[in-house]
Structure 1
Amino acid sequence: MRHKPSRATWSDLLHLALDPAGDSPIFQQIYLALREAIVANTLAPGGRLPSSRALALRLGVSRTSVVSAYDQLLAEGYVVGRGGSGTYVSDEVPAVLAPPPAPGGGSAATRRSLSVAGARYGRFAAEMTLPGSLPFAAGCCSVDAKTVEDWRRIGAGQMRRLDPVNLSYADPSGEPALRREIAAYLRAARAVRCDEEQVVVLSGAQQAIDLSIRTLLDPGDPVWIEDPGYGATREALAAAGAALVPVPVDEAGLDVAAGMAAAGGARAAYITPSHQYPTGAVMSMARRLDLLAWAAQTGAWIIEDDYDSEFRYAGRPLASLQGLDRNGCVVYVGTLSKVLFPGIRLGFAVVPHQLVDVFRGARFLADRSPPTLQQAMTAEFMRQGLLVSHIRRMRQRYKEARDVVVEAIGRHLGDLVDIEVPDCGIQLVVHFRDGLSDIAVTEAARRQGLVVKPVSPHYLAAPPRQGLVLGYSGFDAHRLRAASAELGRIVRAVAEGPAAAPSRPAVPRRAFAGAASRG
């Protein structure tokens, strides 16, 4: 692969150890040192070497020695000269001087073992897939031209009046201006009872959950988790050594009575009460009150993951569980990454007052503080009312996308699936009839250029249902209709067996990967 020439002269930072009293000529020492750095990729392909005059001055040697070393490297193909530009490391470096050590090599004395959590992280990474931009990738979101222009304008203004705090370390809890806006937004939109001191700004909801696990749980502590439930949090809890207690979910959300029967003395409960993942169930008021009463009586913590309640299509968004809490039991987790766009990497936790310093300390040790410039931009975006306008536009767009998918899937697969039409969120679930394997469908869809998630792996103890999680936000109606038709063909081919496998070529990824509104 050809590398774009780099203007950065990283070689200026390279230490070349020369021995003027040694047996080898200086030019040869320079040559060997540079060759070793190139072969070891210390000097990467395309990187620019300093001029012979500059290097000679830095090393305190004659320029002739440096020119001779460069000539030798040039003759052997390690570097190339570009007229008027300089000398660059070649894209095609000759044979390596010594083979690299084999993976896992070394003596028993030099091999190092991982922690139990480290081994689990490695297994998870091997199966991890990054969110894509293909239908029906879950977690995508739309960013329209109005939001982009507003973001650019605010960013330009922030750069013009760059504050010294943007160039220094900051409060681990986040910038006061952003925490103040988040608190005001949550009080109005989600009935969260909080002040700005309780808000901790984090790098997405995932970090909020990670810090909650670090600060509230010890290895071996039993934790209620929804069954089915969100796999990434389940993995994070297991990696931390928590004893997972799967609690069944029905149309009224988490079954609190079943949780108490299974582990009444659990240390914590992780729930998605306003839009359960993946079923979409909404936790009833009776169960919310039962859960809070259990936590108050036993001293348990509740981690409330409210990941996409902004996008509710029937009536006002439901009030948060945290807003009902009068005993400081609930850590409320939210995110701006799905509300605005994933690249913003901003989430937050609203913590009880007794946990404020605990989370500040944990955040400091984890990664010091969130980026201040991004926070300043987001705070101004919210202060000007632009977040509210963005949510209003996206809510309408996502509702239209949901309706397109429901209609198209019903037309192409209505006799094979049951469609759960959500009143909230950015994905829906279809359940297969007649025992069709969701794993088989997922693999077949991937080969044809579609991204779907199987439902069955989200179950732990409960009998798994077969189905698919389909994300619909971030894609226009044309792409969703085309993808639904393709998914219908794939599902029918799997249902009819190998003999009915698609005979035409696999759908190129580009067929569904054009420009989209926003994983």
Structure 2
Amino acid sequence: MFKHSQLESVKAWIAQPAQAGMPLHARIQRAIRQLILDGALGPGKPLPASRVLAKSLGVSRDTIEAAYGQLHAEGFIDRRVGSGSFVAEVKEFAPGRRLSPRRAQSPNQAAALSRRGNAMFGSGGVSEQLLPRPFAHGVPETRTFPLALWERLGRQVLRETGRRALLHGDPQGIEELRRAIADYVNLERGARTTAERVLILTSSQQALTLCANMLLDPGDRIFIEDPAYYGARKAFDAAGLECVPIRVDRHGIAVNQIKAETRKVKAVFLTPSHQFPAGATLTLDRRLALIEWASRHQSWILEDDYDSEFHYAGKPTACLQGLDPHDRTIYIGTFTKSLFPGLRIGYAVLPPELVKPMTVARTLLDGHSAPMAQMTLARFMEGGHFGAHVRTMRSIYADRLDLLAMLVIKHLPHFLEARVPDGGLQMPCALTGAISEAAAVDAARRVGIEIMGLSALHAGGKPEPGFLMGFAAYTPSEIEGAVRKLAGAFRAAATS
């Protein structure tokens, strides 16, 4: 028979809000199990008869029988015909060897992580806004995406492929999509590849993590742009690499600084088509010099071509990978910016000798990308819809960039200098001194506006204060309203 305190403990357990979604018999079973684990019910102790406990708890006898049945199945109690139910004689529950009561864990308590785990956790991760608001950067417009067309293509895939779309996919990615991507980057980006050299991934961030862990060892050096994309730096830091910052000017990364380095550096990461965050395009002479440096030192070039589809002043420059005759360049692309973030499909164009190792490594991360989304995207590209969508959005984004630049000049001349880029989804702005970068970011946030400060993206020197203003995902009226709010917030911050 339960003591009064034990009966009250069971009642309290089954009444907890956290247990509300659990069947009643399961709640009672777990309450009794916890009494056994905590040592409150010792080995050999009898449990109340099911009819008696049912009456005490105000439940049906069947409910108690179901709870006792589960406890018996899990080995916590013995059921003896004609005698009743008893706590099992398990040595772990014997006197002197009782399990210690569970201690409440504080969410702020430090976990015992590995060095790499601490590096990953300490980086803060790469967070994205679920519902972006002006002027969150790097977010495409999704409200005009041809969703009905996408749904129709998805239905075609299901009709024609049937269960194939429901099964595991090729870890390298389905051939149709790899072929479509190879055709696209060869034609539009000047790459040199085939479907056999394309690896489908969930994101460019996954590609960077793979490269950091497959091509370099902890302690190895990698050149990165200064300022640099924060997601890349965090991936490299988490892998234990030593990031060597190289300044960026209006012609891109300073390759002469790379060539002057006397220490062994095994890779360089850069965004040559549209440098993040400055917006510069790497000049041809620097591209060729970088390719020669990589070949001479047998180092890798990690080329992140994250938003080259959206170039507003002339034709975009051909990618580095297509210029590299030595196959030292890994080209990384994503559909997050060109289509929609929820698609979760990126890719890497690899040197032939890296395809199998990278594919095997990818299986250890998440196995494969969802076949259904890959098949639908392949048809979207093969049917010419991808190119048409990009052309449409390029025109829309160009208009929004022009509007944002005009509004900044009109409403924020005492605070900002707009640095209008040739492409991309965000515009860098330099602060002219009326308020600090930290004060600007804080003032914007207080009125519901997101801007990213530039100082944190720099590794050395004295960075020019400023921030990024994303424009692609916001309508003209949303952009104008947000600029006006920002102007008011900055004026209030400057006079406070």
TM over 0.5: yes
1:71 corresponds, among 58, 63, 72, to 58
Query: Aligned residues, how many?
Result: 435
Q: What corresponds to 1:151 in structure 2? A: 150
Question: Shift of the alpha carbon at 1:418?
Answer: 1.8
State yes or no: 1:259 paired with 2:258. Answer: yes
Q: Residue by residue, what CA displacement relative to the aligned partner does 1:327-347 show, whole Å, maximum 9, x if unpaired?
A: 111010000111110000100
Residue in 1 that maps onto 2:369: 370
1:249/1:435 CA distance change after superposition, 3 Å: farther
Structure 2 CA distance, aligned partners of 1:158 and 1:141? 26
CA contact (8 A) 1:311 1:424 kept: yes
- The amino acid across from 1:160 in the alignment is R
- Runs of 5+ consecutive residues of structure 2 not aligned to the other structure: 27-48, 61-100
Is residue 222–residue 263 contact of structure 1 (8 Å, CA) maintained in 2?
A: no
- Aligned-partner residue type, residue 157 of structure 2: Q
Structure 2 Cα separation of the partners of residues 121 and 416 of structure 1: 36
Deviation, 1:262, is: 3.6
Partners of 2:434 and 2:222 in 1: CA distance: 31
Task: Kindly indicate whether residue 100 of structure 2 is the aligned counterpart of residue 113 of structure 1.
Answer: no
Distance change in 2, residues 1:127/1:162 (3 Å): closer
Q: For residues 220 and 32 of structure 1, what CA distance do their matches in structure 2 show?
A: 54
State the one-letter code of the partner of 2:149. Answer: D
Distance in 2, Cα, partners of 1:472 & 1:157: 34
Quickly say closer, same or farther: Cα 1:427–1:35, change in 2 above 3 A: same
Q: Is the 8 A contact 2:158 2:165 kept in 1?
A: no
Q: TM-score by structure 1 length?
A: 0.77
Q: How far, CA to CA, are the matches of 2:146 and 2:472 in structure 1?
A: 16
Note the alpha carbon deviations across 1:79-133, whole angstroms, 9 max, x for none.
Answer: xxxxxxxxxxxxxxxxxxx996132899xxxx96212222232233389563642
Separation (CA, whole Å) in 2 of partners of 1:34 and 1:176: 58
Query: 1:70-219 residue pairs with structure 2 within 5 A?
Result: 71-72=58-59, 101-103=104-106, 113-125=112-124, 128=127, 130=129, 132-145=131-144, 147-219=146-218
Q: For residue 482 of structure 1, give the secondary structure of its aligned residue in structure 2.
A: helix
Q: Deviations over 1:452-501 (max 9, x none)?
A: 0001111111321101100001110000001111112222333x342xxx
Q: Would the aligned equivalents of 2:415 and 2:434 in 1 still touch at CA under 8 Å? A: no
Task: Tell me what 1:486 maps to.
Answer: 485
Tell me by how many angstroms 1:266 deviates: 0.7
Which letter does structure 2 place at the counterpart of 1:142?
E
Q: Provide the C-alpha distance between the structure 2 equivalents of 1:148 and 1:468, rounded to a whole number of angstroms.
A: 33
Q: What RMSD, in angstroms, separates the aligned Cα atoms of the two structures? A: 3.0
State whether residues 131 and 139 of structure 1, in contact with CA within 8 Å, keep that contact through their aligned partners in structure 2: no
Deviation at 1:149, TM superposition (A): 1.2
Question: What corresponds to 1:472 in structure 2?
Answer: 471
In the TM superposition, residue 39 of structure 1 has moved relative to its aligned partner by 4.1
Distance (Å, rounded) in 1 between the aligned partners of 2:233 and 2:201: 20
Q: Does 1:348 align with 2:335?
A: no
Query: SS in structure 2 opposite 1:249?
Result: strand
Structure 2 match to 1:287: 286
Aligned-pair identity in percent equals 33
Structure 2 CA distance for partners of 1:36 and 1:416, relative to 1, 3 Å? closer
Pair 371,31 (structure 1): closer, same or farther in 2 beyond 3 Å: farther
CA distance in 2, matches of 1:127, 1:206: 9
8 Å contact from structure 2 (residues 303, 331) kept in 1: yes
- C-alpha distance in structure 1 between counterparts of 2:461 and 2:188, whole Å: 34
Give the letter aligned to residue 116 of structure 1: R
What is the CA distance between 1:251 and its match in structure 2?
A: 0.4
Corresponding residue SS for 1:163: helix
Q: What letter corresponds to residue 465 of structure 1 in structure 2?
A: E
CA contact (8 A) 1:435 1:466 kept: no
Deviates more, 1:62-71 or 1:475-484: 62-71
Shift of 1:422: 1.1
What letter matches 1:282 in structure 2?
T
Deviation at 1:288, TM superposition (A): 0.4
Is the contact made by 1:205 and 1:348 (CA closer than 8 Å) also made in structure 2? yes
Alpha carbons of structure 1 residues 66 and 286: separation in structure 2 relative to 1, 3 Å: farther
Report 1:417-428 matches (<5 A): 417-428=416-427
Partner deviation per Cα, 1:218-253 (whole Å, 9 max, x = no partner) = 011111000011112111111111111000000000
1:162 CA displacement: 4.6
1:175 shift after superposition: 0.8
Q: Residue type of the partner of 1:103?
A: S
Return 5+ residue gaps in structure 1 as ranges: 1-22, 52-61, 74-97, 499-519
User: Which is worse superposed, 126-135 or 458-467?
Assistant: 126-135
1:389 CA drift (Å): 1.1
Q: Could you list the per-position Cα deviations for residues 292-312 of structure 1 after superposition, in whole angstroms to 9, with x for gaps in the alignment?
A: 000000000010000000011
**Structure 1 residues 129 and 364 mapped into 2: Cα distance closer, same or farther (>3 Å)?**
closer
Scaled by the length of structure 2, what TM-score is found? Answer: 0.81
Relative distance call for 1:418 and 1:273 in structure 2 (3 A) is same
Which residue number corresponds to residue 311 of structure 2? Answer: 312
Letter in 2 for 1:373: M
Task: Describe the shift of the 1:30–1:211 C-alpha distance in structure 2 as closer, same or farther (beyond 3 A).
Answer: farther
- Mapped contact 2:414–2:434 kept (Cα < 8 A): no
**8 A Cα contact 2:14 2:24, kept in partner:** no
